[in-house]
Structure 1
Amino acid sequence: MTEKTIESHKLPAAVEAFVLRWGDLGGQWGVNRSVAQIQALLLLSDRPLTAEEIAEKLGMARSNVSNSIKELLNWKLVTRVPVLGDRRDHYVAETDMWQMASKVAQGRKEREIDPMVAAIRAAMEGIDDPRISPLVRQRLHGMHDFINTVEGWYNQMIHVPPQQIMRLIRLGSKVVSLLKFVGRKDASAKEDA
């Protein structure tokens, strides 16, 4: 979809610009442009929209909208909501940025990281095979340790309340300075021992 296909008289200029830019970003994230544009429209909508309304506002084919909504529903970034007196399906987007980021992270983990973890763990089951060189064994152990550490961190972080994580993120470089300070103290303690 090009910028000219959105019927600008139906969307405020700022909303149109956001929808178009979010659609472009979707391509960079590996998401279909239509999917990203629909999510953007729903993010900025002040009421639930039907698929027909979405198609009209974005100048998209109804079938494209339906397929895109299915993908957004699978990612849990959009929900179907009932509207009193209307039998059609209406949709709203997840508007909490933290929840949106968490759902995307969970979806990517399930689709991209979990299969890699399974492959490394399966390889580790046969690590005692004498035909595996020490170098390959070392690399597999390194990957296994890394994956276990990252997966353990992820499993801990999903239980931390978003407000606490945001406080940690806002600390930014202060955390890095603290880690450097702790690292120097640990090094000094080892030298003294």
Structure 2
Amino acid sequence: MNLTPLVQSFVLHFGEMGSRWGINRTVGQIYALLYVSARPLNADEIAESLGFSRSNVSMGMKELESWRLVRLLHLPGDRREYFAAPEDVWTIFRTLADERRKREVDPTLSMLRDALLHHPDNEPDRHAQGRMRAMYELIELSTSWFNDLQQLDERTLRQLMKMGAAAQKLLLMKDKLTEPIGRKSKEDAK
């Protein structure tokens, strides 16, 4: 299977970016090929298209399956396994974010929780624990916010993302509306 120049450019770019995202180049290229493919591909087709060995493709597929970024399919009358990437980019985004949280954020929160259970008996440890508490609170707040975002339907999430900085204006308006009567806001006092 020959790749068009457009597909080849996309696949090569994803391979380069993969190493920056914590996956190897081969896995990035395999995923990019599956993502843009009009139909599910089997391992032999992937290997031939990308010039990889069959064993490299198998290892890459195992990694992508562990990230829940590909699904295994069987086609009628064919004993080979076929693979496809999810069609919906929002599903991919949610899956990637969830997997990164499990692999990176959750272990850090766990370590910080354990560290905060200790009762430091010296100033350097009290200072360090204070810094860890601030980090824990930020990560916990971010995780909670992210979990709330994960529950939103695509339409609402898209609207929220398009709002950008306008969301801050809404919060400022909310603060003004809920401010007790007779109490000046910081901006009014200026």
Given residue 192 of structure 1, which amino acid in structure 2 is its aligned partner? R
Label 1:191 to 1:18 Cα distance change in 2 as closer, same or farther (>3 A): farther
Aligned to 1:66: 58
TM-score by length of 2: 0.86
C-alpha distance in structure 2 between counterparts of 1:20 and 1:53, whole Å? 17
Aligned to 1:97: 89
Residue-pair matches, total:
183
After TM superposition, list the pairs within 5 Å mapping 1:144-183 onto structure 2. 144-182=136-174
How far is the alpha carbon of 1:191 from its aligned partner?
8.3
1:98-120 CA-partner distances (Å, limit 9, x unpaired):
11111111111111111100011
Aligned to 1:28: 20
C-alpha distance in structure 2 between counterparts of 1:19 and 1:137, whole Å? 45
- Are the counterparts in 1 of residues 120 and 126 from structure 2 also a CA contact under 8 Å? no
C-alpha distance in structure 1 between counterparts of 2:85 and 2:15, whole Å? 15
How far is the alpha carbon of 1:187 from its aligned partner?
11
C-alpha distance in structure 2 between counterparts of 1:72 and 1:190, whole Å? 57
How far is the alpha carbon of 1:86 from its aligned partner?
0.4
C-alpha distance in structure 1 between counterparts of 2:40 and 2:178, whole Å? 58
CA RMSD of aligned residues (A): 2.3
After TM superposition, list the pairs within 5 Å mapping 1:4-153 onto structure 2. 10-126=2-118, 128-131=119-122, 134-153=126-145
Identity of aligned residues (%): 35
Structure 1 runs, 4 residues or longer, greater than 6 Å off: none
Given residue 97 of structure 1, which amino acid in structure 2 is its aligned partner? V
Given residue 170 of structure 1, which amino acid in structure 2 is its aligned partner? K
1:36-93 CA-partner distances (Å, limit 9, x unpaired):
1111111111111110010001111111110001000111111100101100111001
Matched residue of 1:10: which SS?
Answer: coil
C-alpha distance in structure 2 between counterparts of 1:164 and 1:24, whole Å? 33
How far is the alpha carbon of 1:141 from its aligned partner?
2.9
1:152-187 CA-partner distances (Å, limit 9, x unpaired):
21222221112211110011121133234445x389
Matched residue of 2:80: which SS?
Answer: strand
Residues 1:192 and 2:183 are matched in the alignment:
yes
- Are the counterparts in 1 of residues 112 and 133 from structure 2 also a CA contact under 8 Å? no
C-alpha distance in structure 2 between counterparts of 1:110 and 1:191, whole Å? 48
- Are the counterparts in 1 of residues 30 and 46 from structure 2 also a CA contact under 8 Å? yes
